[in-house]
Amino acid sequence: MNQLTDKFNIEQISKKIKDDIDLQNAYLSDSYFYNSLTFCVIDSVFSIGVRYSSVLNTVNNYAEFFKLKKHRLRTLDGYPNIQDQELLSDLIKNIDSLSIDFFTENIFKNKQRTSTRSGILKTEATYKFAMVLYENSINSFDDIERLYKNSKVIKKGIEQIPGQKSGISFDYFLMLSGNKNLIKPDRMITRYLERITNLKLSQDDLLLILEQSSNFLQKEFKDINPRILDHEIWKHERSK
């Protein structure tokens, strides 16, 4: 951490973020309050490299087809009862039963691929993502502690899926499922932080900057953490 402080002026970066963004009214969008882990998987896979509106359409299409509740109450202390959640095993069974192609055409209604070169359909990536989780005994929000405890092992499995090598989707999945200490280093976050530092930044740089900036800003904004800071910067850049 000291190396980061030496490399970047965290106080200056933090003050710039404070000038640009209304941190007093920082909040997370509905996507951080999904009712089931299945939506976290779908969102994290389909959100890479596209406009987020297309992700919301995909999530909405899935929820409408299976008549599922998308979001839990923000005031809910913890996660919904397991009886109110859709299990990852349900998603897997449905895709097994109906096929990747049927899901792509008629349920997700989204033909995006994980990459333009040798990528697979994001529907298939969603299936594989869910399978890795399920094979590691993750099936619902009830398994969150196991998910976080075994995240390194699970991440290695996710990174074997075509188009998931960077690990960004998995980190974003963890954020959607409740982890407050990660960020999604997408083009919005990269663009903003590279602009204000005037440096080329790695994924590790981005995370460390937002970790340290969060620590600095918590003196004034006690609820700030890397996840909220990431989301506020994303909203700031998206509005341009």
160-210 confidence digits (pLDDT tens): 999 999 999 999 999 999 999 999 999 999 999 999 999 999 999 999 999
| Listed residues 177, 194, 227: the one ending a domain | 177
| Listed residues 130, 148, 177: the one ending a domain | 177
| Residues 57, 138 within the same domain | yes
Please give the residue that has the higher pLDDT: either 74 or 16: 16
| Residues 44, 100 within the same domain | yes
121: β partners: 113
| Residues 160, 193 within the same domain | no
CATH number assigned to the domain comprising residue 57? 1.10.340
| Residues 93, 212 within the same domain | no
User: For residues 94 and 66, is the Cβ–Cβ distance under 8 A?
Assistant: yes
pLDDT of residue 15: 96
What would the pLDDT profile of 22-77 be if each residue is shown by its tens digit?
999 999 999 999 999 999 999 999 999 899 999 999 999 999 999 999 999 987 77
| Residues 150, 223 within the same domain | no
| Residues 20, 132 within the same domain | no
Is 4's pLDDT higher than 60? no
How distant, in Å, are the alpha carbons of 109, 124, 167, 210 from that of 157? 27, 15, 10, 27
pLDDT of residue 6: 59
| Residues 125, 145 within the same domain | yes
Nearest to 148 by CA among 178, 116, 168: 178
Query: Which residue type sits at 128?
Result: K
| Residues 193, 225 within the same domain | yes
Q: Which residue has the tokens 């389909």?
A: 46
Tell me phi and psi for residue 167, to 5 degrees. Answer: 80, 0
User: For residues 177 and 144, is the Cβ–Cβ distance under 8 A?
Assistant: yes
pLDDT cut 70: percent of the chain above it: 98
Is 2's pLDDT higher than 70? no
41-50, 75-84, 88-97: least confident range: 75-84
The alpha carbon of 73 is separated from its chain's Cα centroid by a whole number of angstroms, namely 19
pLDDT averaged over every residue in the chain:
94
Q: In whole angstroms, give the CA distance from residue 138 to residue 123.
A: 19
Number of domains, the chain? 2
| Residues 23, 42 within the same domain | no
Residue 85 binned pLDDT confidence (cut-offs 50, 70, 90): very high
| Residues 18, 83 within the same domain | no
Range 100-118 average pLDDT: 94
| Residues 15, 89 within the same domain | no
The alpha carbon of 226 is separated from its chain's Cα centroid by a whole number of angstroms, namely 13
Is 7's pLDDT higher than 80? no
Does an H or E element contain 20, and which? helix 10-20
DSSP 71: B
Q: In whole angstroms, give the CA distance from residue 230 to residue 210.
A: 7
Could you tell me the residue range of the domain that residue 217 belongs to?
Answer: 2-29+183-238
pLDDT of residue 199: 94
Is 1's pLDDT higher than 50? no
73-82, 94-103, 104-113, 160-169: least confident range: 73-82
Is 240's pLDDT higher than 90? no
Tell me phi and psi for residue 49, to 5 degrees. Answer: 75, 20
| Listed residues 129, 144, 177: the one ending a domain | 177
The count of other CB atoms within 10 Å of the CB of residue 85 is 23
| Residues 198, 127 within the same domain | no
